[in-house]
Amino acid sequence: MTALLNDYWPYVLMLLVGFLPNEVWRMAGLVLSRRIDESSEILIWVRAVANAVLAGVVGKLIIFPSGALLQVSDAVRLSAAGIGVVLFFLLRRSIIVGVAGGVIALILGTYFFPM
Amino acid sequence: MASPDAASSPDAFPTAPHDPPTASGFVSGFVASLHSILLYVLFGTFVGIGALGHDYGFSLPWMWASTLLVWAGPAQVILISVLGTGGTPLQAALAVTLSAVRLLPMVVSLLPVLRTPKTRVWHLILPAHFTAISLWVDAQRLMPAVPRDRRIPYCNGLGTGYMVAAMTGCTVGFFLAAGLPNAFAAGLLFLTPMVFMMSVMRNARTLVDQLAFGIGLVAGPLLATYRVELDLVWSGLLGGTLGYIIHRWRKAAR
């Protein structure tokens, strides 16, 4: 990898396998959105689909970890997420409290219950 | 509690007669990004991504370029970890594109809200590029209060604010990487699912969106557990369509 990093190749690779396969969906969305009116019923459905996809991403990020989260046990991750949600609802739907609570619970859980 | 909503109040938009809508819209959007909790979460998330990139041997300029051009946290994590662990370019491209399908419904539902009859297609390229989960979530909350002729520059200002935060976070993470204890690195990566979950629980005011989110939250991991291909696409279509059908039922019953 080090030899390659001195070159332009990593940038070309990023454009080809990172930028393009990602951006193609944005541009497809741009084209499709041209025929859709803001007040149309289909937009309610599209927004619901977007919400459900986002929920799927959230669920997967919690259940199937990546990177540094691989070294945190399932029990700690799920409990931390649960603690965050409970705090969120207890403290008048405060995003800051819910997020901070969940993340702090995860960090403490990682220290006290290592894998 | 007032600060996050301050930017959405009408007086955040000075409406002097000679005020150019593009410049002031951009500034209002940029300022709104600073009031959003998602900006700070993006910063934290990208500290995690910067550290990851450093650990897998990527250079800082490469990390900057991928942040600017890919502009999607999950895709960047995939790109870095697949290429960094010796995966083939084809594997990386496939994994990235599968993770990016979610951007399609987000762009389709956002752009009609930004458009005016005078809008040209190329005006929408930048907002489409800025579209990622964070911008989409905040646009749902903020756009209704933004005057129609300022929504595109406002969106670009918002996106620019997020990008600056992400680039800064990425840089900090890159240099911190070696000294970052694993528990903190894990905590930073945990920010993303937590904040998206809470933002949607707070912002989804309609039954359709709440149902769609609830169904997707269960369906996503469940389909992935059974290794169903295109799991996110199916959980999106399933959650979105079921939510929509139930919404129609309720409407018809009334």
For residue range B225-247, list pLDDT tens digits in order.
Answer: 888 777 888 888 999 999 999 98
In the structure, what pLDDT confidence band is assigned to residue B95 with cuts at 50, 70 and 90?
confident
pLDDT of residue B253: 84
In the structure, what pLDDT confidence band is assigned to residue B4 with cuts at 50, 70 and 90?
very low
d(CA A48, CA B76): 25
CA angle A87, A93, A99 (to 5 degrees): 55
CA nearest to B240, candidates B220, B221, B225: B220
d(CA B93, CA B71): 15
Interface of B with A in 77-96 (CB under 8 A): 77-79, 81, 83-84, 89-90, 92-94, 96
Check A48 against B239: CB less than 8 A apart: yes
In the structure, what pLDDT confidence band is assigned to residue B251 with cuts at 50, 70 and 90?
confident
CA nearest to B34, candidates B167, B151, B164: B164
| A98-112, B2-16, B109-123, B187-201: range with lowest mean pLDDT | B2-16
d(CA A74, CA A36): 42
Q: Is A83 on the interface with B (CB under 8 A)?
A: no
In the chain, the amino acid numbered B96 is V
Q: Where are the domains of chain B?
A: 3-193, 204-254
Between B214 and A115, where is the model more confident? B214
Q: Half-sphere exposure (CA, 13 Å, Cβ side) for B140?
A: 25
The complex's ipTM works out to 0.81
Model confidence at A1: pLDDT above 90: no
**Mean local confidence (pLDDT), B79-96:** 84
pLDDT of residue B101: 85
In the chain, the amino acid numbered A78 is L
Q: Which pTM value belongs to this model?
A: 0.80
pLDDT of residue A2: 56
Q: Left if phi > 0, otherwise alpha if psi is -120 to 50, otherwise beta: which for A26?
A: alpha
Interface of B with A in 141-180 (CB under 8 A): none
Enumerate the residues of chain A whose CB falls inside 8 A of the CB of residue B252.
none
| Burial status of residue A96 (CB atoms within 10 A of its CB: 0-12, 13-18, 19 or more) | middle
Enumerate the residues of chain B whose CB falls inside 8 A of the CB of residue A52.
212-213, 215-216, 219, 235-240, 243
Instruction: Using CA atoms of A96, A97, A98, A104 in order, give the dihedral in degrees to the nearest 10.
Output: 100
In the structure, what pLDDT confidence band is assigned to residue B8 with cuts at 50, 70 and 90?
very low
A94 CA: distance to closest CA in chain B (Å): 8
pLDDT tens string A17-35: 999 999 999 999 999 999 8
And the tokens for B125?
A: 């390229």
B52 CA: distance to closest CA in chain A (Å): 7
d(CA A98, CA A86): 8
pLDDT tens string B126-164: 999 999 989 999 998 999 999 999 999 999 999 999 999
- Collect all residues with Cβ–Cβ distance below 8 Å to B26 and sequence separation of at least 6: B153, B154, B156, B157, B160
Facing A49 at nearest CB: one of B105, B128, B136: B105
How does the average pLDDT of chain B come out, rounded? 86
pLDDT tens string B25-67: 999 999 999 999 889 889 988 998 898 899 888 999 999 999 9
d(CA B233, CA B48): 27
Of the ranges A30-34, A94-98, B18-22, which is most confident?
Answer: A30-34
Between B237 and B82, where is the model more confident? B237
